[in-house]
């Protein structure tokens, strides 16, 4: 289970829902990707990006201490999980995960932007309940989501406006 609440109910989002949502975002928001971005590669990254995190355990994106220990846990999980597959398949899927994590390609940066935009929208459309529950501030949200700009300037403009609107509406502390 993730920290974000879904919009239709009083429950937290699960990883399968998140994966489906961000993959659909890739299809629907493809026009906002950098020119010549391979959307099928973005979709592949989005389908595998949280498998390692599910196995390693989730680190709350606003918890700096938990995030500091997450890379080692995720590497160990990647070794284990991708090691279960036939060697070629394991290498291919792990390389997609590593590309997503490194954010060095336009596809990885766009996928990472979508991965941050989706929970931002959930937080906004639940009147900031998860943000307020954890005492998250505007500056924290801006910092955590800043890499949206590296994947899509247009989506970052949208995200910043949404964050400012969340503050104006009282969903997020200034």
pLDDT at 121: 92
pLDDT at 13: 63
Average pLDDT (125-153) is 95
Residue 10 included in any domain: no
Structural domain containing residue 109: 15-168
Q: Where are the alpha helices (DSSP H) in the chain?
A: 15-28, 39-48, 51-56, 64-83, 87-102, 106-125, 129-133, 138-145, 148-151, 153-168
Residue 1 included in any domain: no
pLDDT at 14: 64
Residue 153 included in any domain: yes
**CA 9/CA 153 separation, integer angstroms:** 32
Residue 54 included in any domain: yes
Confidence class of residue 21 from pLDDT cuts 50, 70 and 90? confident
Average pLDDT (38-60) is 90
For tokens 């355990």, what's the residue?
57
Average pLDDT (92-98) is 97
Find how far residue 162's CA is from the centre of its chain: 17
Average pLDDT (90-114) is 97
Q: Mutual orientation of helices 64-83 and 87-102 as an angle, nearest 10°? A: 160
Number of domain units in the chain = 1
pLDDT at 44: 96
Q: Is pLDDT at 139 greater than 80 in this prediction?
A: yes
Q: Is pLDDT at 2 greater than 60 in this prediction?
A: no
Residue 157 included in any domain: yes
Confidence class of residue 57 from pLDDT cuts 50, 70 and 90? confident
pLDDT at 53: 85
Domain with residue 145: its CATH number is 1.10.3210.10
Residue 95 included in any domain: yes
Average pLDDT (87-91) is 97
pLDDT at 5: 55
The fraction of the chain above a pLDDT of 90, given in percent, is 70
Find how far residue 79's CA is from the centre of its chain: 21
Residue 8 included in any domain: no
Provide the whole-model pTM: 0.90
């Amino acid at each position: 289970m993730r920290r974000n609440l879904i919009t239709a109910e009083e429950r937290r989002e699960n990883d399968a829902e998140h994966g489906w949502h961000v993959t659909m975002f890739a299809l629907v928001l493809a026009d906002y990707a950098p020119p010549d971005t391979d959307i099928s590669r973005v979709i592949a990254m989005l389908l595998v990006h949280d498998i390692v995190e599910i196995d390693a355990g989730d680190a709350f994106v606003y918890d700096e201490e938990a995030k500091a220990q997450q890379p080692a846990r995720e590497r160990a999980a990647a070794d284990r999980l991708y090691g279960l597959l036939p060697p070629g398949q394991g290498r291919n899927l792990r390389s997609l995960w590593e590309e997503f994590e490194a954010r060095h390609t336009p596809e990885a940066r766009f996928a990472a932007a979508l991965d941050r935009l989706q929970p931002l929208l959930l937080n906004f459309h639940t009147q900031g309940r998860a943000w307020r529950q954890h005492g998250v501030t505007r500056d924290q949200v801006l910092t955590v989501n800043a890499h949206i700009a590296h994947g899509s300037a247009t989506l970052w403009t949208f995200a910043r406006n949404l964050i400012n609107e969340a503050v104006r509406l009282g969903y997020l502390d200034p």
